[in-house]
Amino acid sequence: MGGHVFGRSSAQPRTALRGEGCYLYDADGRAYLDGSGGAAVSCLGHSDPEVRAAMHAQLDTLAFAHTGFFTSEPAEDLADLLVANAPAGIDRVYLLSGGSEAVEASIKLARQYFLEIGQPGRHRVIARRQSYHGNTLGALAAGGNAWRREKYAPLLVETSHIAPCYEYRFREDGESAEAYGLRAADELEAEIERLGPDSVMAFIAEPVVGATAGAVPAVEGYFKRIREICDRHGVLLILDEVMCGMGRTGTLFACEQDGVAPDIVAIAKGLGAGYMPIGAMLCSAAIHDAIAAGSGSFQHGHTYHGHPLAAAAGGAVLRAILGRDLLPRVREKGARLQAALTERFGQHAHVGDIRGRGLFRAIEVVEDRATKEPFDPARKINARIKAAAMDEGLVCYPAGGTVDGRKGDHVLLAPPYIIEDAQIDELTDKLGRALDRALA
């Protein structure tokens, strides 16, 4: 290897050579069970013949046409398919190249919408602590992860952050789940009133928090109250489903399980399943029509947005998810994974919580189960788990700062939707050995 790739760290990673089904193989021929789909991306595994065929066919006809001049059949087809299966009111699709782009577009669209309807004072975004919305500056500003924001703080636009809906950490003794959810949601109303309703344009949240907290679902009733608060104050609800969407939690859009529809929703990861970089920002007819009837154009765009080859891949992935009955399978195998994790880690001295929805699960690792006290961050438990898991032949997604951006460790699991029961057992066994090695 030449060694000129600017990697994520100074350590030289292993070289992935090929992928097949739920496994990746390195240059030494070693197999790794992809227990996290990379970063919750590879929902169909690594060698889906129908997706590959769709990409080959598109490449043979049209790879690229700039959206400043043309639309394309794959883009139109994918948009129609998404809207046909989207939450109520969603009517337009803006195709991009990834999740951060989708969130950036969502925030910019919210701002332009309020300019178009004559409310220029609305510019503030409210988000939640321990959220992750992407790594570009706008998305990073919206995100509430202290560690990721720290180096770039002087460059970030001011954003308000309220408490997450994180039952394991913040529901009080004797408080019902429903009461906790309403208490957490009401922080949004308090923050809107503190800032002044006429200055707030959007609230952004992940229906199931992914990378920074580890598959944390909201309690029942939380998002319904959030929707009511947004409606009462004329604030747009942006849902970030980049990681938890496209079937990952057992419904195509994660918010279906919370009984709410957003004004804007961002998707990516599972939409392309790793076969092409693709994301999308979807919005309501009301938002699109306000711009169409006003200035006539969304002042935004990228060279590769609406890319025909990416759209063809996304269309094939979406048809696979819907046409092969993979959503019921995600629910079934998700329950199986939860049961396997509970059996293996339910009484583990250092596993405090096992949570998630569908094939989007996590364990939270603690020093003391009784007090929920996290490990000292200096021990770098999450990094040790990741390294031990790789040695065991398992790709999983451990992360630190789970509790407050500094303290806390969790392991996120998001295997392909095609995972079999024997592979769930393999995943659990390898994770168990890796955890015990990391804690030794």
Rounded CA-CA distance 32/78 in Å is: 32
Question: Do 404 and 24 form a contact (C-beta atoms < 8 A)?
Answer: no
Mean pLDDT on 406-421: 98
Tens digits of residue pLDDT in 85-96:
999 999 999 999
pLDDT at 147: 83
Mean pLDDT on 375-388: 98
- What Rg value do the Cα atoms of the chain yield, rounded? 21
Tens digits of residue pLDDT in 37-47:
999 999 999 99
- pLDDT at 1 exceeding the cut of 80: no
Question: Rounded to the nearest 10 degrees, what angle do helices 49-61 and 308-323 cross at?
Answer: 150
pLDDT at 2: 61
pTM score above 0.75:
yes
Report residue 325's pLDDT band, with 50, 70 and 90 as the boundaries: very high
Tens digits of residue pLDDT in 167-197:
999 999 999 999 999 999 999 999 999 999 9
Report residue 402's pLDDT band, with 50, 70 and 90 as the boundaries: very high
Amino acid at 258: D
Mean pLDDT of the chain: 97
User: In angstroms, what CA-CA distances link 85 with 91, 93, 251?
Assistant: 10, 12, 10
DSSP-based three-state secondary structure for 198? helix
Rounded CA-CA distance 24/292 in Å is: 46
pLDDT at 10: 84
- CA-based nearest residue to 211, from 240, 231, 191, 236: 240
**Token couple for 110:** 């919210």
Mean pLDDT on 384-392: 98
Tens digits of residue pLDDT in 91-136:
999 999 999 999 999 999 999 999 999 999 999 999 999 999 999 9
